[in-house]
Structure 1
């Protein structure tokens, strides 16, 4: 597929297709016209001679410094150089490509005043597999993700460094050599263009877009793991009955309950103990729809903000026609350049924190179900301690819960970055969102949650090996969806007959989650 960029319709799935899947992107013709119009308005401002922030003035605290006309191009290049101050580890390929495609789309909204050639060159880097080297830390989420975007943009002027994809694997090259590898030359930035490239929320929104896609997949996988655990521990699916959720109709809760019903449909195991003496299950089983559903709602809440942000102009200042800026007195279409704060990451940061908390609690309930599968003080009678065929001689999956608990602890320790504030730029930028750190934290929590869900699938599949012990009826089938999940797990992890390195089992299932194979297998069965 080719993702069409028009400044209006980019979705998280599009971002994932480019960033993760390596798909190409193309610019829609109507978006090109908006870019040209916006640039012409910047030229009008330059001809008028008035002071305009970032066009012919200094930046931040240096806003009162007027820059001579002959130095305006140097001003923009100096901006990239001085703001390329990031540190720590490099961003991975996925995050950088997400930042690139979202930045291009934001420029296509048509209020940034950048030339078409600059947007085209950034698109060329993306499509040709040239990935700027971008340190992960330096953004405060206002004035946008300045430092990471500056590192990204340096390659356009032949500076910085980039990874260039080739048949022999990626090669790290200086910026000018990276450009030469695709037959391109360094650009000379015109007035306003350096600021247009680095002033925005694209690191934050790019990572958030990927987190939405990954998070929604994870929530489906968590429902699968929880439903399988419910089944093999002889829990009841009555807690997912639609009548319960119709009288408390939270959208996510109803979706999770419906998913559990679909997954366990046709289960002979559920049917065999439908009339048992147990009245109700522990909360980690009985409240699955409520907890998973609340997490699902948090990701939906994040999606709402990200879908707006992906198709928004987030730099500063923004370029409008006079009419669009409600200054119609002159009756002309002269340019109006307005300074504002669309670069501020708060709308994303707050929702990322909410998603982080929700995914942490998703991890917590999965860890509790793992313990219920393994713990001899909590297990059903048909399950051996720690799911080891020869308990005592073997430790089985005892340490699965240890690692799950450690991952949960890390997720709980990642605090709310958005509530921090460190004024910068001589006090001019006196309230910042720290949205990039919120995005990093949400991404880490999501990775931790995925590993814990993979661990639950490993343990629940092993528990399935002992279900027949509970009945006199012989082998009983699992549900259509849970049975497909069990088969998918068994395709990479054989039943545990003797102790072995448990990490390898989890890694095998983790790969099923990351490449989508588990959900694909389950979906085909439903």
Structure 2
């Protein structure tokens, strides 16, 4: 039997959520969680039987909260809310993000404060296990009262509506897939529809992916930055620990330690130890401060995401049949702000990388102009920096914080919303652009390092450079560099550089992880 995660009981992390989504871990409901779910469902039924007025159980929604719904219509109400709130537009979000939405929703509902039926929860788990994942449009959530529209689309298949990715990843009508598999649609009970669509799981699922992808981008930035520094014959002295102990930000210290150890054993560094270059430009010298600030932003986001992963974010919360609290746990602001912060952090990684790109084609520090020996007839590496410059500016335009905006909805009942769904989507866009900028820097850094031969860099930089050269050759004349950038992008996105660096560090007994490894691990 493989690894098991107990929904509603165990502590969910980013890595566990991703492992469940990728089939590496199985998520289950144990008896303790089932008892909590059944108790909460019984409390809701008791509320209905007594006729107590509780929002969303026997009232309308939003501005219709004062409209009383009869006992016989409480189930119909839950069916209709999934229909009426399914108003998403745009392209479907990636299948994996939809699946993470399912996983995080199950964990929240399984804690026993939402009044969900056990059969409904088990059906959602069935979707996860069978990899039959609902299709969710990317736009339409304002991030409070929860991610209403995307969550409505996510759970339409429970009542036989909507669309899904089937077992083979093909798009299909949920009704067709359920019929083929002999699975009947569900009849939702009191409060169930509201429990399903009220919550932050759209924002949260995007945040989970941001944590994963930005972590790789941060580690990759240090490696490529070190290779660029070697190509530009920069100094490693700004990475010495004594400097950062007197301004001890965790991110800065972590990056400085990584760069210091990554460059140990470099013949290139030794060759210009006594040169007359007093100090390097900021994009080399300030990597610990800039990359480190972005790491601090990532750390803040990771901490907030881990809280949210283990929270109950629907409304009302059912403590027992006598205590149903209408609150605001669905409000996405706690994630919206750190997601916007992470977007700025990712954008700045691209900004400083582009500065290094520009420096490497200027013809400074012993490198040929445009990183090619024979230019004139050849344009050399002039134009890839245009691409990185364009992406840097595009990222800057995406950095406006969605969380700073709010448009009243629901006839003023929901008069302040987080827009965190926008924060999550655009931060992933920024990271996608960052990965392309890093691809250009990797292309430049590998070419620059070639001009330092026969001197060798450190074991880590040599190994990562060799991996690049197995896929893209040194350029002596013009060629279609888009193909080279695409190959570099594949390397960056795959995390291959990070894996190689870690393997070499382990083999050579290099302390690449530093004092803050646990904190900068998700």
Query: TM-score, length-normalised on structure 1?
Result: 0.93
The equivalent residue for 1:380 is 365
Tell me whether 1:4 sits opposite 2:21 in the alignment. Answer: no
* Contact 2:33-2:111 within 8 A present in 1 as well: yes
Q: How many residues align?
A: 502
Quote how far apart the aligned CAs of 1:21 are. 6.4
Aligned to 1:153: 155
Q: Distance in 1 between matches of 2:38 and 2:180?
A: 28
Q: 1:36 Cα shift?
A: 1.6
The structural deviation recorded for 1:347 is 0.4
Aligned residue for 1:163?
A: 165
- Going from structure 1 to structure 2, the CA distance change for 1:14 and 1:181 (only over 3 Å counts) comes to farther
Q: What residue number does 2:255 align with? A: 256
The separation in 2 between residues aligned to 1:135 and 1:294, in whole angstroms, is 33
State the 1:181 CA deviation.
Answer: 3.8
SS, match of residue 9 in structure 1: coil
Taking a change above 3 Å as real, the CA distance of residues 118 and 245 of structure 1, as seen in their structure-2 partners, is same
Measure how far apart 1:392 and its partner are. Answer: 1.4
1:431 alignment partner in structure 2: 416
Distance 1:3 1:480, change over 3 A: farther
Shift of the 398–183 alpha-carbon distance from structure 1 to 2, 3 Å rule, reads farther
Post-superposition offset of 1:78: 0.3
**Deviation digits for residues 175-216 of structure 1 (CA, Å, limit 9, x no counterpart):** 211223443210110110000100000010111011111111
Which residue in the other structure is 1:325 paired with?
none
Q: Which residue of the partner structure matches residue 465 of structure 1? A: 450
Counterpart of 1:341? Answer: 328
Corresponding position: 1:395 with 2:382 = no
What corresponds to 2:185 in structure 1?
186
Deviation of 1:123 after TM superposition, in Å, equals 1.1
User: What does residue 484 of structure 1 align with?
Assistant: 463
Q: In structure 2, what is the equivalent of residue 25 of structure 1?
A: 27
Across the aligned residues of Structure 1 and Structure 2, the Cα RMSD in angstroms comes to: 1.4
Instruction: Find the aligned partners of 1:282 and 1:96 in 2 and give their Cα distance.
Output: 44
Alignment-derived partner of residue 434 in structure 2: 449
CA contact (8 A) 2:7 2:27 kept: no
Gap regions ≥5 residues in structure 2: 506-522
Structure 1 stretch 237-246 or stretch 39-48: which is displaced more? 39-48
Offset of 1:346 from its aligned partner?
Answer: 0.3
Greater Cα offset, 351-360 or 497-506: 497-506
SS of match in other structure, 1:401: helix
Compute the displacement of 1:373 (Å): 0.9
Give how far 1:388 is off: 2.0
Answer yes or no: is 1:120 the counterpart of 2:122: yes
Counterpart check, 1:245 vs 2:212: no
Secondary structure at the aligned position of 1:467 is classed as: coil
Are positions 1:198 and 2:203 aligned together?
Answer: no
Give the distance between the partners of 2:246 and 2:409, measured in 1 at CA. Answer: 50
Residue 102 of structure 2, aligned match among 81, 100, 103? 100
Higher mean C-alpha deviation, range 35-44 or range 335-344: 35-44
- Alpha-carbon shift at residue 420 of structure 1 (Å): 1.1
Cα distance in 2 for residues equivalent to 1:28 and 1:272: 63
Query: Alpha-carbon deviations, 1:358-404, whole Å to 9, x = none?
Result: 1111110011001111123xx222x1121123211212221211111
Q: Is contact 2:438-2:492 (8 Å) kept?
A: no
Partners of 1:367 and 1:21 in 2: CA distance: 38
Give how far 1:47 is off: 1.7
Partner residue of 1:353 out of 313, 334, 340: 340
Distance 1:501 1:365 in 2: 25
- Give the CA deviation at 1:461: 0.3
**How far, CA to CA, are the matches of 2:198 and 2:481 in structure 1?**
46
* Contact 1:200–1:314 (8 Å) recurs in 2: yes
Q: Counterpart in 1 of 2:62?
A: 60
Q: Flag structure 1 segments of 5+ consecutive residues without an equivalent.
A: 322-333, 469-474
TM-score by length of 2: 0.94
The correspondence of residues 283-362 of structure 1 with structure 2, limited to 5 A, is 283-321=282-320, 334-362=321-349
Q: Does 1:500 align with 2:479?
A: yes
C-alpha displacement of 1:482? 1.3
**Paired residues of 2:5 and 2:25 also in contact (CA < 8 A):** no
CA distance in 1, matches of 2:447, 2:93: 37
Q: Is the CA contact 1:163–1:178 (under 8 Å) kept in the aligned structure 2? A: no
> Matches of 1:192 and 1:153 in 2, distance apart?
14
Secondary structure at 2:318's aligned position in 1? strand
